Amino acid sequence: MEKRVKFRGWLLPILLIAPQVVISAVFFFYPAGQAIWQSLFIPDPFGLSMQYVGLGNFEFLLSDKFYRASFATTAVFSILVTLCSMIPALFLAVVADRLIKGSGVYRTLLIWPYAVAPAVAGVLWLFMFNTRVGVVSWYLGQLGYDWNHVLNGTEAMGLVVVASAWGRISYNFLFFFAALQAVPKSVIEAAAIDGAHFWRRFWTIVLPLLSPTTFFLLVVNIVYSFFETFGVIHTITGGGPQQATTILVYKVYSDGFVSQDLGSSSAQSVILLIVVGLLTILQFKFIEKRVHY
């Protein structure tokens, strides 16, 4: 069972949690409260006047079929980014773990992409896939495939997913690699003596033992794909074509900071807050139950 510490009195406990409460209040509750308040108005950009519209901003958003579609876009995007960044990372970690010599070099090289800022990574991929001058799109052209992510929504989605997942593989690799090192060798050796081959050992022993790490990475990667990928999207597609790559957070940014529609942007933040809250509850309720610590 869990250990509980009992404090006598209430002053010390309050003092101990006070810093966290203050930080949450200043950096979370206050801005979140502001967002909820502002979502009830249509303000002008200069803050000179505000028009109370009640739930008008939400009505406006939910009646916009592009906004509704961006929920699906966000789901597809996050799932793909999470899969594309975790599976290769796990594969690379397993392979690097089996190396006897030179694993340090591999590790260092594999971590490098993490040092590249999302917006810069976006520009790098954009150059490679530029429809007219990109190296990759030129080779694809030679193979008879006409790459044009500027007009083709599926290709645009593929490109932003790859560009977002790329740097993330390094991060996930680090965690998987560390977790693999912590798997007790004795268990694996015992299984090997019993005649279990590599893949069987991986599926039945290693993967379950990695589950806390996998769960942690799942949460972190979904949060990443929600909130930190907009630099990539901004530089590669700007949310296009036809909003095929406009995820919820990108729309908050572009409506609020580019278009100065603060009412709609606040309403979107509130909706996003609810979505992320629900997702987190779901993750901890259902997936965490299957995690072996």
Partner 1 sequence: MQKSILGALAVSTVLSPVAAIAQTEVQFWHAFTGRLGELVAAQVEEFNASQSDYVVVQSHKGNYSETLNSGIAAFRAGEQPHILMVFEVGTATMMSAKGATRPVFEVMAGSGAAFDPNAYIGAVKGYYTTTEGEMLSLPFNSSTPVLWVNRDAFEAAGVDPDTDLSTWQKVGETLDALKAGGSQCPLVTAWQSWIHLENFSAYHDVPFASQDNGFAGLDTELMLNGEAQVAHLTAMGEWAKDGKFIYTGRRNEGGANFRSGECALFTESSAGYAGIKAEAEFDFDVRPLPYWEGVGNGPQNTIIGGASLWVMEGHEDAEYAGVGEFLSFLSSSDVQAKWHQDTGYLPITAEAGEATRAAGFYEDNPGTDIAVIQMTANEPTANSKGLRLGSFDQIRGIIDEELEAIWAGDKTAQEAMDSAKERGDALLRRFESANN
Q: How far is the CB of 218 from partner 1 (least distance, A)?
A: 33
- Of residues 247 and 261, the one with the C-beta less far from partner 1: 261
Closer CB to partner 1, residue 58 or residue 114?
A: 58
Identify which of residues 209 and 252 has a Cβ nearer to partner 1 in the complex.
252
**For residues 48 and 193, which CB has a smaller minimum distance to partner 1 in the complex?**
48
Give CA–CA dist 285/87, Å, rounded: 23
Q: Minimum Å distance from CB 74 to partner 1?
A: 18
Could you tell me the smallest distance in angstroms from the CB atom of residue 253 to partner 1? Answer: 12
Least separation in angstroms between CB 143 and partner 1:
17
For residue 234, give every residue at least 6 positions away whose Cβ sits within 8 Å of its Cβ, in sequence order, or none.
119, 122, 250, 253
With contact defined as beta carbons under 8 Å apart, do 232 and 122 qualify?
yes
Helix (H) or strand (E) holding 136: helix 135-142
Structure tokens at 284: 């901890």
Residues near partner 1 (CB under 8 A) are 42-49, 51, 53, 60, 64, 66, 131-133, 150-152, 238, 240-243, 254-255, 257-261, 263-264
Terminal-residue alpha carbon distance, the chain: 14
The residue (of 57 and 269) whose beta carbon lies closer to partner 1 is 57
User: What does the alpha-carbon distance between residue 258 and residue 238 come to, in Å, rounded to a whole number?
Assistant: 11
**Least separation, in Å, of the C-beta of 261 and partner 1?**
7
Cβ proximity of 85 and 222 under 8 Å? no
CB nearer to partner 1: give 12 or 151.
151
Closest CA to 188 of 204, 174, 212: 204
Token pair belonging to 149: 């992510």
The Cα 75–Cα 68 span in angstroms is 12
94 CB contacts (<8 Å, ≥6 apart)?
Answer: 176, 180, 202, 206
CB of 228 to partner 1, least distance (A): 21
